[in-house]
Amino acid sequence: MENQVTLDITNNLFTINNLWMMLATALVFIMHLGFATLEAGLTQSKNTINILFKNSVIPAIGLLTYTIVGFNLMYPGESFAGAFFGFAGFGVSATPDDVTNAYNIGYTYWTDFLFQGMFAATAATIVSGAVAERIKLPSFLIFATIFVGLVYPIVGMWKWGGGFLDTLGFYDFAGSSLVHSVGGWGALVGVIFLGPRLGKYAKGKITPIPGHNIPLAVIGVFLLWLGWFGFNGGSVLSADPALVSLVFVTTSLAASAGAIGAMTASWGFLKKPDLTMTLNGILAGLVGITAGADLMSPTESIIIGFIAGVIVVFAVVLFDKIKVDDPVGAISVHLVCGIFGTLAVGIWGDKAGLGQLWNQLIGVVSIGLFVVAATSAIWFGLKKTMGIRVSEEEEYEGLDIGEHAMESYPDFEKVS
């Protein structure tokens, strides 16, 4: 009887934890809509179908490749502890034990798989925004498939799968590096291979190409913030009240401070309160806190968020100066603030210290090297074979007509 009681109590805890992890999965899922609307809003209307198409199939590609290889590349099991690479075989399937707390007190095998799968797809989405308005659709889809199917899980394994970075003491709570920087590096390399959009840096000056629908971008950023409750909160891997609620607070305060940081920086240095910068600031704060969301006090999370918000403004301006054309600011948000957030773990919070900072740096560098190398190879291969950039004519006319033979707001000719 007593055993039964203990069992029942444990089962209840398991059910609660698993419920939270499933909800966190749903929250991370909605981030894909956030990315879709953010990226569509910050680009031109003639490329809207195209960007929405990419963002609509990325979750599908992500989940399916994660089913086939990704999950088992990223979590190959204890026999690969400390390694650089591991693989536990194709496909996913669960034994009866895998859906009880014998698998884990926090979640079932299925929840584990789906939560991680939703994460995986976000890395590709980050790239989608940076290369928008000029990339060939089939090339992007192939890139995205390889990126989420292989590159992301291999890097993820280094830390979350128990690989060498984990052994080393590198810390990345919810993926400032493992998700955001990975996506950011892929984006940076992609942008360099592609070159800027026509006219962006023509005649030696920067000609802004404003996003066509700012309300869409706002919807996107709020949905991303919402999703981040699951992204960071779910990374506790249980419904632990103390930790999850702290993570909710640090996440929200960093986002808030990011908004204020970017507002201040854009108002102060760029003369006007720039809404798109403020939106980027919210995301910057979120990315910045992600590596140490469970380690920071409210004050520390405000500091980190504020700095990230300021950084993102200058990063956007700087990348424009060096002619890295990123329509949505993905590289500034995810790569730059991802690195900052990773290093922040060594500077503020429970783990702060030079040793930790060094470990973080090793993580940043090794991840950077690998992802740059891997994505360079992919982009290079694609460029040599099918090509990665649409024709000049198609770029002027818009990818919606060129790639999809559709328009996103076609009411004119059907005024009838």
Residue 9 in the binding site for another protein (CB under 8 A): no
Question: 258 to 277, contacts with another protein by CB under 8 A?
Answer: 266, 270-272, 274, 276-277
Among 7, 19, 60, 406, binds another protein (CB under 8 A): 406
- Report what 257 binds from another protein, its own copies, none; CB cut-off 5-8 Å by kind: its own copies
- Using an 8 Å Cβ cutoff, are 70 and 152 in contact? yes
Mask: binding to another protein, 140-179, rule CB under 8 A, as x and -? ----------------------------------------
Site for another protein in 346-405 (CB under 8 A): 393, 396, 401, 404-405
Contacts 24+ apart (CB under 8 A), 65-69: 65/120, 65/145, 65/148, 65/149, 66/113, 66/116, 66/117, 66/120, 66/121, 66/148, 66/149, 66/153, 67/91, 67/92, 67/113, 67/117, 68/149, 69/149, 69/150, 69/153
Under rule CB under 8 A, residue 407 binds another protein:
yes
Which of 3, 79, 93, 416 lies at the binding interface for another protein (CB under 8 A)?
416
Task: Report in angstroms how near the CB of residue 133 gets to its own copies at its nearest.
Answer: 11
Rounded CA separation 252/177 (Å): 19
CA distance 181 to 203: 32
248 CB burial (10 A radius; 0-12, 13-18, 19+):
middle
CB of 123 to another protein, least distance (A): 24
- Rounded Cα distance between 366 and 19, Å, is 35
Residue 260 binding partner per list another protein, its own copies, none, with a CB distance cut-off of 5 to 8 Å that depends on partner kind:
its own copies
Residues counted in the chain? 416
Residue 206 interacts with which of another protein, its own copies, none, CB < 5 to 8 Å by class? another protein
| Closer by beta carbon to another protein, 133 or else 166 | 133
Q: Which residues within the stretch 198-257 sit at the binding site for another protein (CB under 8 A)?
A: 199, 206-208, 210
As a whole number of Å, the end-to-end CA separation of the chain is: 75
Distances (CA, A) of 155 to 48, 111, 150, 152, 370: 31, 21, 9, 5, 8
Say which entry of its own copies, another protein, none residue 320 contacts (CB below 5 to 8 A, set by partner kind). Answer: another protein
Q: Which residues contact another protein (rule: CB under 8 A)?
A: 199, 206-208, 210, 266, 270-272, 274, 276-277, 313, 316-317, 320, 329, 393, 396, 401, 404-407, 410, 412-413, 415-416
